[in-house]
Structures are given as structure tokens and as C-alpha cells.
Structure 1
Amino acid sequence: MTYRMKLGIALLVVGLGGVVAAQSPAKPVRIRGEIAAVTADSLTVKRRSGDTVVVTLNPELTVSAVKNVPLAEVKPNTYVGVASMAGEGNKRTAIEVLVFPEAGRGTGEGHFDWDLGNNSMMTNANVDTAVQGVNGRTLTLSYKGGTQEITVPEDAPVVTIIPATKADLVAGKKVFVVGTPTGRDDNFRANRVVVEKDGVAPPM
């Protein structure tokens, strides 16, 4: 794995963990949507909420994509990021699972608020056990300060990170961007973009 890819993974996990928010003058914003237009140094993104924002691409931009991973491959000692919702009895059910390459292990570790729905949480943690059940695969996750038990339904997206390039940034593709506000309305800057590739959209 190249240094650039390792750096890219670290930057993505920063976005997933929000670990730099307290150190930055502006809190990073997660942008999810579809590319409406592309220039040499910017993306216009129509967000899921319906509004449109402009993302300026920093010169050191890293572009990545994701590919599907079989749920059965999420085994003990895998490092994952799991977005989940609380259900009956406060039992947590996964919305999506990101399997980190080994270079991303330990970065952004913890259990914290997420923004894929009311009461959604993100857990970046190590898989201690993975038990197949009737309703999916139940993972016991451990991180510094705690553990979580989360059931991953068979239809939940499970992906891992793969390389991509700026050539993959084309109108109509879905993207996940962690952007920093520039101080201008609906305008952000980004070092990292995760883009849809081969029909697989980033589920984060």
C-alpha cells in the first residue's frame, strides 16, 4: 500500500471520527449527495437534503472509492466502522459497515454520534466476535472505553476502501465528502472525496 493511500485512509477515518473538530477553527461537515457539475478544482454537489453546495478541491486531494465485501468476511480482529441505529430494547442494528484496511486500524476509535438518522451512532472498533444468526451477523465490537453489540442485517451495505482518481469524479456519481466551511454560504473545501465506482456508492 502506498504512502498516499495510507494517508488517504487516515484522512477518511478523521472524517468518520471527527477527531480534529476540536482543533480546527471550523467543524468539518459531512456532505452526501450526487455530483451535479465538475471543474478542474471544484465539485458542485446536490445533497440528499435537496440543496446544492460547492466543494473546492484542495491541491493535495485524495480520491477513493469503495467496493462491496461479503458480510461473512467480517471476522474477529477486523477493524471496522459501523453506523447503527438503536431499536427495541436499545439493541443496535447496523445501517452500513466499512471494513478498514490494516493501515487504518485504531484511527478514530470510539463510539460517537453520527448523522444518518435520529439517534444514529458510529462505532470504530475491533471485532471481537462475529456470530451468524437468523437476522444477520451479530458483531461484538471493542474500543477504548467500551464495547458494543451490533447486528448487521444481510442487506446492510458492507464495503472497504479502494483507490480512485480525479477522472472518476463525473456528474451523476454519488459522493461522500468531509468538507471544511470556507465562511461563504454553501461553500466548502476538501482534501478527500469518496466517489461511486463500478456501481457501488459510498454508504457512509
Structure 2
Amino acid sequence: MNTPSTSSFRRFSPLASVLLASATLFGAAVLPLAAAAQSPAATPSAAPAAPTVRIRGTVVYVDQSKVVVKDRSGEVVSLARVADMPISEVYRIKLSDIKQGSFIGTAAMPQADGTQKALEVLVFPEAARGTGEGHFPWDLQPQSTMTNATVADLAAAPKNVRGGQQLKLSYKGGEKTLIVPPNVPVVTFKPATDALLVPGANVLINAQERNGTPTALRVLAGRNGFTPPM
């Protein structure tokens, strides 16, 4: 199976021009990459890091040197993989598991009243608190956003979202009010191995061009047909 061209790789991602620092929900999980991009040894003349892109799809084949996936657009792509590529299992938890003080990441749609309506909510493990903190564009749906923030307060959602939650989110430089409908997926993640990457497994891959080769930096996967909702 041929590795796709550079133009083919970029065609997968709606946000291929987003810079590394804001392109990935799990930025802390690829700290060696981020640290290299921000190293004091770097000079203004150094070539900028290639953007990180997100590939959502299903596993076709995995071995120690590559990951082959079918993108949600239907295109099959073969990616090299970094050494010790992190793999995480994303799994469901309950809406009630979101507590005051939880650090979350949420893809959401801006509403006319200034609130954000959640498309999904990820509760970060405590060790990942602070990952990618802030509010920025996201590519789950057109015009969607991502907010990584601390839950400062929570209450019942408005009556028109019966059974949901209303969260006040606080992050450095701002705050948002998030409405979480009761049917929105709430998830977290834990370390996993290649054993999770069976053919047909649903994945979200953070990838980057390295030396002209599309390369998988990190894989987030669901078990038994579960799709990571990010």
C-alpha cells in the first residue's frame, strides 16, 4: 500500500494550517514534540514545525512501523509511527462524573445567547490537568470550538435541556458557560497498547509530516466499536 503524497495527507484535515500548539486536545501527551518546538536552542531562522493534524477513521492494519487507517472521508492512508507512540483508550463515563473542580475538554457549538452547547465532554485524568488550557476553534463540526478548562460551578441545565447540566468553565484569560445535553457523550481515557488497535477499531490520530512522511504521533481508540467522540 503506497504512502500518500503530501497534498493527499493535508487533504484529510479541515485544520491542516492550525499550529501545533493549538491543534491537539492531548498536547501534554506529546510534550517531547512540543518542547522541541519551543526549545531555547531554536533560532528565528529554524524551519517551523509542520502542523499537527487529526485523522478520524478506522484501523485497517497496524504493525511496529506503521498505522494504516481508512479516514472518515473513505481514503486509506498509511502513516509511519514515532518510537513509543502513545496509545490511549477512550471510554464512556457518566455525566454525573463531572464535578466542580474537574478539568475538562469539550467540543461545542457557540449559541446565539453566548453559551456553548456541548458535542462531547472529556474529563481529563488528574495527571493531565491543564492540558491545552484555553478556548479555540475545533474541527469536529463546522464552526465548532474546543474549551479546555476547569469546572468552576455546575447546576441543572435550563428547562429546554431537561436532564442536562450547565457548567461554568474557567480558563486563563476567560470563562464560558457550557450546556451539556443528557445524550452528549462524556468520556475519559487511560493508557493502552497495540492490542487495542484491531482492524475496524475507531481511532483519532494526531499526525504530522516528518521528513516528508505522514507520521502518527499518538492514537486514541475505542474498544468494541466505541468511537472517540472528539
Compute the TM-score of the two structures, normalised by the length of structure 1: 0.85
C-alpha distance in structure 2 between counterparts of 1:195 and 1:28, whole Å: 18
Q: Does 1:96 align with 2:109?
A: no
Instruction: Give the drift of 1:118.
Output: 1.6
C-alpha contact 1:60 1:191 (8 A) present in aligned 2 = no
Q: Secondary structure at the match of 1:59?
A: coil
Q: CA RMSD in A?
A: 2.5
C-alpha distance in structure 1 between counterparts of 2:148 and 2:166, whole Å: 16
2:153 aligned partner:
129
Which of 59, 76, 80 matches 2:104? 80
C-alpha distance in structure 2 between counterparts of 1:157 and 1:16, whole Å: 22
Q: Secondary structure at the match of 2:127?
A: helix
2:74 aligned partner:
50
C-alpha contact 1:29 1:181 (8 A) present in aligned 2 = no
C-alpha distance in structure 2 between counterparts of 1:79 and 1:107, whole Å: 9
Which of 14, 21, 25 matches 2:27? 14
Structure number with higher relative contact order (C-alpha < 8 Å, ≥ 6 residues apart): 1
Aligned length: 192
C-alpha contact 1:15 1:178 (8 A) present in aligned 2 = no
Query: Which of structures 1 and 2 has the bigger CA Rg?
Result: 2
Instruction: Give the drift of 1:129.
Output: 0.9
Which of 42, 47, 64 matches 1:40? 64
Q: Percent sequence identity over matched residues?
A: 41
Which of 183, 196, 199 matches 2:222? 196
The unaligned stretches of length 5 or more in structure 2 are 1-23, 39-47
Report which of the two has the higher share of strand.
1
Q: Secondary structure at the match of 2:49?
A: coil
Instruction: Give the drift of 1:15.
Output: 7.5
1:118 aligned partner:
142
The unaligned stretches of length 5 or more in structure 1 are 1-10
